[in-house]
Chains A and B, each alone.
Chain A
C-alpha cells in the first residue's frame, strides 16, 4: 500500500496514488454490475410491455415534448460533466465547479420533467398498480431516476469537499469516479429512450 512511485506531470492527478487507481478500477467493475442490474430491468420491461390488462396503453400516455426535453437535458449534462473533468485535468478548479454545477442543474431539470411526467400518468389513471406493463415502466424508469437523484446528492458532497480542500489526488479521484457514474446514467437513458419511448412510438 505504499505509494512512493514517481509520476510525470502527464499522469492525471486521480491516477497518481495506488488507492486512486484501485478505486477507479473498482468503480468500473461496479458499473459492470449496474449493467447487469439494468439489463434485468430492461428484460422485464420488454417482456411485460404489451401486458396492459385492459388499462391504458403506454403508447397513449407518452408525450413527445416532455420526453425530448428530458433527453436533451440529460445528454447536455453529460457533455457539461465532460467539460468539468476537462477543466479538472487542466487544474482549473473554478471551471470545474462551474461546469459541475451546470451539470447538476441540468440533472435536476431532468428529474423535474420526469417527476412531472410520472404525476401526469398517475393523473390519467396509469400507476404502478394498474398493469404489468406500467409496473415495468415505472420501475425501470424510476430506478434510473433514483440513480440520478443519488448522483446529484453525491456530487454535491464532493463539490463541498473540493471547495474546502481544492484539487487533490483524493478529490480528483472522487470527481472522476462520479463523472463515470454520471456518463453511465446518460448511457442507460439512451437505452431507455430507445427501448421504451422510441419503440413505443414506432409500434404506435
Chain B
C-alpha cells in the first residue's frame, strides 16, 4: 500500500492537525523525560487500580474529547455561518459531523459520567474501592484505546463519514469504501467492552459494598442513578456489541445482515442501533439527574423532596427507555399501529421526568440557596432541559414528526436535552467534586464567567435552530443557498457556538488558575456536604478512602452524623491494617493488544489482528494464574495519614 493511502493528504486543515499532533507528542515526551516523570506516570497512573485515579483519567480523557468534538462543532458552524460557504467541502463536512456526534456521545459524555461515578460512588457508599478494581482498570484502558483508535482515523486512513448512526446502506463497502467506517466499528467496540464491564462492576459494588446500615433507600441520589444506569448498560450494551460485530462482518467478511443484496435488511441496522441507542440516551442522562439531585439538596440545605418518587421515576424511565426506539424512524414506513405504540411510550417518559422536575423545585422551595458554580449549573439545567423535554414530546407525535424529521428542529431538541442535561450535569459534578479530586475548589469567579458564557452561548446557538428546522432546513447539509432565508439565524447560531467555545476555554483556564491560586481545603468537607464522600479525613481521600468505615443510620448519612456529633476519628487502639488490591500493568498492556487487534481489523491486516488477539488471550490467561492477593496498609501508615497520636 502506498503511503498516501495510509496518511490522509491534500487538505491544509489535516496537515495542520498532523503538525499539532506530532508537536504535542514530542512535547509530552520531552516534559516527561525532562522532569523524570516516566516512572511516576507508570507507577501512579498507568498501573493504578484506585477508583479515584481512574476517575480522574476518565475525566481528563473526556475533556480532551470535548475539545476535539467542540472543534468539530465550530468547524461545522463556521461552514454554515453564511450561505454557499467554501470553508469545508461536502466530504469533509460529512466526516466532521460524523466524528462530532460519535465523539461527543461515546468518548465525551460516557467517560465524563463514568469518571464522576468512579470518583463519587464508592465514597458515597462508604466503600474502600469498587468490587473489582483490576476490572475497573481494564474498563478505563479499553475505553481509552477505543477512543484513540477512533481519533487517529482523521490523519491515518480517513474519518468515518456515514453519521454517528452509521446507517446502512450508506455505511456499506460500496458507499463508504476505505477504512473510515471500520474505525467507527472497532473504536466503538473497544470502548463498549469497557462500558459493559463498568456496568457489571458498579452494580455489584453498589449492591454488596455499602457501609453497614445503609439500606437501598438510604443511598445518595447519585448512587441510585448510577445503579439504575448500570442495569441499563448491562442490557443495552450487548445489543451494540452484536450490532457492531454484524456490521463488521458485513464489511470485512462479506456477510449479508444489512446489505441491499443477498436478502439483508438495511433497516434492521437502524432498529438494532436504536435498541441500544435510546437506552444510551438515558445512560448519559440519569447520572446527571442524580448529580443535580445531590447538588440541589446540598446547596438548598434541604433533604431531597420526594426521595422515593425520585427513585421510582428513575426506575420507570429505565424500563421505558427500552421500548421507545422506533421513534427515531417514524418515517421508515411502519404501520400506524406501530407508530402509535412508540408515540405513546415516548410521551409516557415525560411523566416520571416531570415528577423529577417538580421534586427538584420543591427541594429548593424555602431552602437557603447558595449560588455556587455547581448550583448555578443545576439551576440552569431545569428550564433549559424543560425546553428540550417539551420539544421532545412534540417530536414524539408520529404524525407531526413527518414534518420535524431530519430537520434542525430535531438538532435543537437533542442538544437541549444532551447539553442542558448531560453536559451541564458533568460541569456541575466536575465543579462539585473537584475539591475531592484535587484538594482545592475551582475559582468561583472564573466558574461564573464560564457558566454565563456557556449558558448564553448555548441558547444563542440552539434556540434559533428550532426555527430553522420549522423553516425546513434539513440536518447534515454542508451548505445552503442565499435564497433560503436561513442566513441570519445560522449566523446567530454560529456566534452562540463560539461563545460556548469561549466558555470552555475559561473552564480549562480555571483548572490552571485554581491549581496556582485556590485556597487548599483543610478538611474533607468542602461544601458542608450531606453524603459520605465528604466524610473523609482529608480533602483528597487517602487511597484506602476511610480508615474507619462509617456506620449509616439514615438518609443524608454525613449530615446526620454532623447533627448528632458522631466523629469519624479513630482511637489509636482501633486502627487495624487495611487490605487493598495491588497495582497492575496488565490492564494497560492488554488494552495495547486490543488496540493492535483493532487496528489490524480496521486495515484488514490479518497477521496484525491475530497478533493482537493472541496478546489479549495471553493477558487473560496470565490473569487466571495471577494469585496476587493484594497487600495490607500498615497500622503505622494509617496512623500517620490520619494524624492519630496516642
Please report A residues at the B interface, Cβ cutoff 8 Å.
1-2, 21-23, 25-26, 29-30, 32-34, 36-37, 40-41, 44, 47-48, 51-53, 128-133, 135-136, 138-139, 153-154, 157-158, 160-161, 170, 174
Contact = CB atoms under 8 A, between A and B. Distances in A.
B635 to A, nearest CB: 14
Task: State the majority secondary structure of interface residues on B.
Answer: helix
25 contacts: A21-B208, A25-B204, A26-B200, A33-B234, A36-B234, A36-B238, A36-B239, A37-B241, A40-B238, A40-B272, A44-B242, A51-B263, A51-B264, A51-B265, A128-B255, A129-B256, A129-B262, A132-B257, A135-B249, A135-B256, A135-B264, A153-B621, A154-B624, A158-B624, A170-B627
B263 A133 contact: yes
Given A32-B234, A33-B237, A53 B242 contact: no
Contact of B262 (A33, A132, A158): A132
Contacts of B256: 53, 129-132, 135
Contacts of B397: none
A82 B246 CA distance: 34
3 interchain residue pairs of minimum CB distance:
A51-B263, A132-B263, A37-B238
B196 interface: yes
B249 A48 contact: no
A196 to B, nearest CB: 16
The interface centre, meaning the residue of B241, B246, B256 with most chain A CB atoms within 10 A of its CB, is B256
Contacts of B263: 48, 51-53, 131-133
Interface residues of B, number: 49
Contacts of A53: 256, 261-263
Nearest to A53: B263
B625 A161 contact: yes
Contact of A40 (B199, B243, B249, B627): B243
The interface centre, meaning the residue of B132, B207, B238, B630 with most chain A CB atoms within 10 A of its CB, is B238
Nearest to B253: A128
Contacts of A37: 238-239, 241-242
The interface centre, meaning the residue of B200, B203, B262, B625 with most chain A CB atoms within 10 A of its CB, is B262
Nearest to A25: B204
A26 B262 contact: no
Contact of B265 (A23, A25, A47, A153): A47
A162 B502 CA distance: 61
Given A52-B263, A131-B263, A161-B625, A22 B257 contact: no
B579 interface: yes
A29 B204 contact: yes
A3 B46 CA distance: 29
A129 B255 contact: yes
The interface centre, meaning the residue of A36, A129, A154 with most chain B CB atoms within 10 A of its CB, is A36
Given A37-B241, A135-B256, A44 B200 contact: no
Interface in B265-279: 265, 268, 272, 275
Contacts of B203: 29
B104 to A, nearest CB: 25
A165 to B, nearest CB: 8
Nearest to B130: A22
A47 B271 CA distance: 12
Nearest to B208: A22
A129 B476 CA distance: 33
Contacts of A25: 204, 207-208
Interface string B238-260: 11011101100100011111010
B582 to A, nearest CB: 13
B118 to A, nearest CB: 17
A161 B249 CA distance: 37
Interface string B28-56: 00000000000000000000000000000
Interface in B172-210: 196, 199-201, 203-204, 207-209
A202 to B, nearest CB: 21
Nearest to B261: A53
Contacts of A22: 131-132, 204, 208-209
Given A25-B207, A132-B263, A41 B242 contact: yes
Nearest to B272: A40
Contacts of B579: 1-2
A32 B196 CA distance: 11
Nearest to A157: B624
A48 B257 contact: yes
Contacts of B578: 1
B265 A36 contact: no
B260 to A, nearest CB: 11
A41 B639 CA distance: 55
The interface centre, meaning the residue of A26, A41, A128, A138 with most chain B CB atoms within 10 A of its CB, is A26
A121 to B, nearest CB: 14
Given A1-B579, A53-B256, 4 more contacts: A22-B132, A135-B256, A138-B255, A158-B624
Contact of B246 (A21, A23, A133, A139): A139
A135 B255 contact: yes
B580 interface: yes
Nearest to B203: A29
